[in-house]
Amino acid sequence: MSFINYSSREINCKIVYYGPGLCGKTTNLQYVYKKTNPDQKGKLISLATETERTLFFDFLPLALGDIKGFKVRFHLYTVPGQVFYAASRKLILKGVDGVVFVADSQIERMEANIESLDDLRINLAEQGYDLDKLPYTVQYNKRDLPNIAPVESMNKLLNPREVPYFEGVAVTGPGVFETLKNVAKQVLTELKKHY
């Protein structure tokens, strides 16, 4: 649910990073935070366990600039990827405008990727959203590791609809902004269709 304020001339959109545990969702936000000008970002809030696993969500507000005199803000959230945090994941998806699915490219995580994608689809459907109609971008993360699946086979498994996808190395940055930019663009394009 985007929030368009004609009085303060602001548009707020919510983007959620989804994916299996340890795939690199939080790392994506940390990189965006690190590379964004101080005047364009708020605090990065992480509600995490002592071992730095996301417990409820990470939150990063970005104010990138203006479009037609409206200040455009993106609120980035990550979900906790661990299977047993299912209830929290559902809550974070409320009011989402765009989704980034971060997949872990390591071969041994393919099962977890598929499971998480199913979970995403079901949780969205529960809130009345259809993943196939939502602004949606896929990131194949951890491309720096040796034991990774080829992109083509990941596409077959995780991206049958052939939405935009990016190879990423969230720890050092490749793919991080490309992914964000792509989903943000889809969100704004969607708004344009409706208002």
Partner 1 sequence: MSSSDLIMYEEEFSRIDEELQKLYVQTNAMVVFLVDKNGQLIASAGDTSDIDTTSLASLTAGNIAATGGIARLLGEKEFTILFHEGEKENIHISLIGQRVILVVIFDKRSSLGLVRLRVKKASEAFVKIFSDITSKSEKVKSSDSFDESPFAEISDEDIDNLFK
Ligand X SMILES: Nc1nc2c(ncn2[C@@H]2O[C@H](COP(=O)(O)OP(=O)(O)OP(=O)(O)O)[C@@H](O)[C@H]2O)c(=O)[nH]1
Question: E strands of the chain, at which residues?
Answer: 3-5, 10-18, 45-48, 54-67, 70-78, 98-104, 136-141, 165-167
For residue 2, the one-letter residue type is S
Residue 185 CB, nearest approach to ligand X (Å): 23
Long-range pairs for 59-67: beta carbons < 8 A, 24 or more residues apart: 60/29, 60/32, 60/33, 62/32, 62/36, 64/40, 64/184, 65/40, 67/11, 67/188
Residue of 34, 49, 83, 94 that binds partner 1 (CB under 8 A): 94
Residue of 10, 12, 22, 33 that binds ligand X (CB under 6 A): 22
Q: Which residues, 46 to 85, sit near Mg ion by CB under 5 A?
A: 54
161 binds, among ligand X, Mg ion, partner 1, none (CB under 5 to 8 A by kind): none
Quick check: 91 binds partner 1 (CB under 8 A)? yes
Sites of contact with Mg ion (CB under 5 A): 25-26, 54
Sites of contact with ligand X (CB under 6 A): 19, 21-27, 53-54, 78, 80-82, 141-142, 144-145, 169-171
